[in-house]
Structure 1
Amino acid sequence: MTQTDLAMSQTDTPSPALRVPPAAPAEAAAFFLGRLGFQADVSDVHRSMESGRPGFVLVDSRGEEGWRQGHVPGAVHLPTAEIPDRAPALLDPAVPVITYCWGPACDGATRAALAFARLGYQVKEMIGGMEYWAREGFAVQTGPGADGSLARRAPDPLVAPATGVSCAC
């Protein structure tokens, strides 16, 4: 069956995924460009951090226990509740911020990003959070500070390439 035949058969009985038809291409482009303005994925954040000149500050917005359990090397620990009081003295408002929390089932990074935006910072959220950072096999720092040990896990082959450092997308 050709793609044309398949598309025509779908017009008779639309699939559940197409009950609401796709947006017009220009609307879709605006939507996806908008999402990229608000989010960065862990692979891009990792590559940027590894470069030594990321162009942003990475902020772990979890509490002390989560930070000690494991965090992204080079991240700044600033729990969400402390952002309004501590961010102005700690972070340059001219430097963009990328926030992260536990993972996709947690909206802590979103709340942190909102707190930074309300203070006037340019901000993005690292989608996937700490969960996908670890699942992609990137180094995780444990302990209270920069002197903690580094651990690296094998990438989860269901969410990251088994070899290489990025999805090449």
Structure 2
Amino acid sequence: MPSPVAEIPAAIPEATAAHYAARLAFETDCSDVHAAFTAGKVDFVLLDVRSPALFAESHVPGAINLPHGKMTAHRMSAWPSDTLFVVYCAGPHCNGADKAALRLSRLGLSVKLMIGGITGWTDEGLTFESAAIAAE
């Protein structure tokens, strides 16, 4: 009798590769975002979609505060249409980044979710900024 892990056979390698390639098309992580900023290779716009008050308290360095409810076609036209946006919120217990990704994609924009959000950034031991700058 197989273990609970092996009871359902693993997918074939080609299916597994397709699955994880698809996931990486939708997500990035805190480490990759941090590495991009550290290397000066920032080819995306990092959006913190939490409230302006939470953003002012603490946020990922380089992030812009833009709650998902403020993401309108007019507001997003400030960036070129081929801009890649990376969104994050409080963490796995929050769906604000999912809502932002949905809104941006419905506006025809490219977006990835930074998995883990603030919780993930904290777990990685990375530093935060604080500022009184908030979205309009």
| Structure 1 and Structure 2 fold alike (TM over 0.5) | yes
Task: Tell me by how many angstroms 1:52 deviates.
Answer: 2.5
Contiguous gaps of at least 5 residues in structure 2: none
Matches of 1:79 and 1:73, distance apart in 2:
17
Is the partner of 1:18 in helix, strand or coil? coil
Q: 2:105 maps to what in 1?
A: 117
Task: Tell me by how many angstroms 1:32 deviates.
Answer: 0.4
Q: Residues 90 and 76 of structure 1: is their aligned pair in 2 closer, same or farther, counting only changes over 3 Å?
A: farther
The percent identity for this pair of structures is 39
**Larger Rg over CA atoms:** 1
Return the letter of the residue paired with 2:107: L
Contiguous gaps of at least 5 residues in structure 1: 1-12, 147-169
Q: Does 1:37 align with 2:21?
A: no
> What TM-score do you get using the length of structure 1 for normalisation?
0.73
Q: 1:95 maps to what in 2?
A: 83
Task: Tell me by how many angstroms 1:78 deviates.
Answer: 0.4
| Higher relative contact order, chain-length normalized (CA < 8 Å, sep 6+) | 2
2:3 to 15, 25, 28: 15
Task: Tell me by how many angstroms 1:25 deviates.
Answer: 1.1
Q: CA RMSD in A?
A: 1.7
Q: Residues 16 and 55 of structure 1: is their aligned pair in 2 closer, same or farther, counting only changes over 3 Å?
A: same
Segments ≥4 residues shifted beyond 3 Å: none
Task: Tell me by how many angstroms 1:85 deviates.
Answer: 5.1
> What TM-score do you get using the length of structure 2 for normalisation?
0.90
